[in-house]
Structure 1
Amino acid sequence: MTYWDPIPTLRAMPGEPLPLWRGALVDRDWSLPAPDGWEQRDWRSVPGPLYAANTDTCLTGRQCAPDLVMYEDEYGSEFLYRQPRTQEEVHRFICAADCEPFGGYGGDGDLHWTPELVRDWWRERGRVREWAMVQGWGAGEEAAWALGGNDAGARAYVAHIDRDLADYLRGYLFRLQEGRAPRPGETLPGL
């Protein structure tokens, strides 16, 4: 799947019930900058509009969004290893962001990523992939519970890099260059 824009869904959610939490309302527009800013984003976060910067260490993100969030180390700071591709995934992202007490997530990545920066990240993906390949924190039963299957997240991240991330990034490059998501059949830029 190529790029899907999560921002309209994020902007429509404040004041709406969060489907994952009975009775809870979304109280923030998660398309805004992270409190600590873009400059503090985690280097492992995949390019896209959403990112994590200076998150807490409560190990909550994977409980809500195991298909999007990983922990950077055994202390549990979070980052996005995959951007949301559906409305349901945006809801899981909001759950993860809302659970994170520092409010360390942001959604203004489109204002900062450039085609050149995306291509630079892609060229350096081996560094990210190598980091993910050596994650083994889930070795013991207690660690596996505490880290919410971060080892499974690392495997999913490597699979994402190896399988479908290039197509997503080519679609995201189109979005950055054209100001809209690509339509079916449109030629996508190269990485």
Structure 2
Amino acid sequence: MTYWDPIPTTRALVGRPHPLWGGDVMRHDWSGPAPDGWADRDWRNVPGPFYTANTDTCLTGRQCAPRQVAYEDECCSEFVYRQPVRAVEVHELTCAAECDPLGAYGGDGDAHWTPELVQGWWRERGRVREWALRVGYGEWATSEHESRREAAAGARAYLAHLDRGLGPYLRDYVFWLAEGRPAASGERLPELRP
């Protein structure tokens, strides 16, 4: 795996028919900062270019992007648990951003994350794991409310990503941040410190 930059694909959608909308044009460039800014981002957002800060609570994000978006369990605000690694996932995530009435998605994470901050997030991932276990397998998993069951499903998807795909992604992302380019084939990637 080598890091794939989703920002050019995001910018290329602006002013064109969105692939998931049957002809409707995407007018917003989701590669910029979230309206509430980087400092207010949800702590559950994984490192990468995309994040959320104070989204609505309408539970629309997973309708568009179940492979990238999950809901927190207090107000059901959205956050990015998996960064897009191919064009179709950018389409899904920008759809989720467009459906958020507050437009509280941002795509300027690369301007804020550093290799050290990513390493720090990785060392503290136990906090995310604890949250995801509680929501994914707690009372919300069997709730009579479909929205809570969907939030639990998102938490379980986050756990699976934490266990299988996030570590390799972050190693590539740390290289991207440090070197300003994707790693070449066979090039050594930085280790994630426990």
What is the TM-score with the length of structure 1 in the denominator? 0.94
Q: Which of 115-124 and 69-78 deviates more?
A: 69-78
Correspondence 1:18-97 to 2 at 5 A: 18-97=18-97
- Residue 142 of structure 2 corresponds to which residue in structure 1? 139
- Residue 100 of structure 1 corresponds to which residue in structure 2? 100
> Hey, what's the Cα distance between the residues in 2 that align with 1:21 and 1:150?
24
1:36-66 superposed Cα distances (whole Å, 9 cap, x missing partner) = 1000111010000110111000000000001
Unaligned runs of at least 5 residues, structure 1: none
User: Any idea what SS the aligned residue of 1:134 has?
Assistant: helix
Question: Are positions 1:125 and 2:125 aligned together?
Answer: yes
Amino acid at match of 2:152: D
Deviation of the 1:147 alpha carbon? 4.0
Contact 2:3/2:169 (8 A) holds in 1: yes
Contact 1:53/1:104 (8 A) holds in 2: yes
User: Any idea what SS the aligned residue of 2:175 has?
Assistant: helix
- Identity rate, percent: 65
Deviation of the 1:75 alpha carbon? 2.4
Deviation of the 1:80 alpha carbon? 0.4
Deviation of the 1:23 alpha carbon? 2.3
Count of paired positions: 189
Q: Which of 93-102 and 173-182 deviates more?
A: 173-182
Runs of 4+ in 1 over 2 A off after TM superposition: 145-148
Contact 2:76/2:151 (8 A) holds in 1: no
What is the TM-score with the length of structure 2 in the denominator? 0.93
- Residue 185 of structure 1 corresponds to which residue in structure 2? 186
User: Any idea what SS the aligned residue of 2:76 has?
Assistant: coil
> Hey, what's the Cα distance between the residues in 2 that align with 1:49 and 1:169?
12
> Hey, what's the Cα distance between the residues in 1 that align with 2:39 and 2:8?
24
Deviation of the 1:108 alpha carbon? 0.4
Unaligned runs of at least 5 residues, structure 2: none
> Hey, what's the Cα distance between the residues in 2 that align with 1:108 and 1:29?
11
Contact 1:55/1:105 (8 A) holds in 2: yes
- Residue 16 of structure 1 corresponds to which residue in structure 2? 16
Question: Are positions 1:153 and 2:154 aligned together?
Answer: yes
Q: CA RMSD in A?
A: 1.3
